[in-house]
Structure 1
Amino acid sequence: MWGDYQVHGWGWMLFGGVHMILFWLLMVLLIVALVKWLKGPSNTEERGSQDALDILDQRLARGEIDMETYRKMKQELLQR
C-alpha cells in the first residue's frame, strides 16, 4: 500500500510542479497584457507620421522642395 502511494505521490508532485510553473507563467502574461491594455494603443503610426512631417518641414527649410510640393506631401501624410 505505501509503495503504491509513493509512486503515485511523486507523479502528482511532478505534475503539480508543472501546473505551478504554468500558473505563474499565465499570471505574468496576464499582467503584461493588462498593462499593455491599460497603456492604450501604441502611437507608432502617429509618431511615424509626425517624424515624416518633421522631415518634410526640414526639407522645405533647406529649400529642397517648393511650397506647392510641401503642401501636397503634407496633405498626403495627414490623410494616412
Structure 2
Amino acid sequence: MTHAGWGGGPGWFLLIPLFWIILLIVLFAVFSRRWRHGWADHPGGWQAPAARAEGTLAERFAQGDIDEVEYRARLEVLRANRPDRR
C-alpha cells in the first residue's frame, strides 16, 4: 500500500530546509567577503568623490598630461575643499 503525497518518506522533508540553509550560507559568504574588503575594492564599487578626484589627478600626472607643479597645485585645491575636512 502506498501513501498519498510524495511517498518518499521523511528524507524529502529534510531536503527543503537543508537547501535554504545552504543557500543562506553561500549568500552570507559572498556578501561578507565584499563587506570586509570594502566596496571600493571592486570594479564599480563605491568610493568617496574626493578619493576618485585625487585618483584621476594622479593618473593624469602619471600619464604626463600635467606637470608636477600643476599636479601639486590641483591636489592642494582638492584637499583644501574636501567636505569631510574639519
TM-score (normalizing by structure 1): 0.49
Name the structure with the higher helix share: 1
Which structure is larger by alpha-carbon Rg, 1 or 2?
1
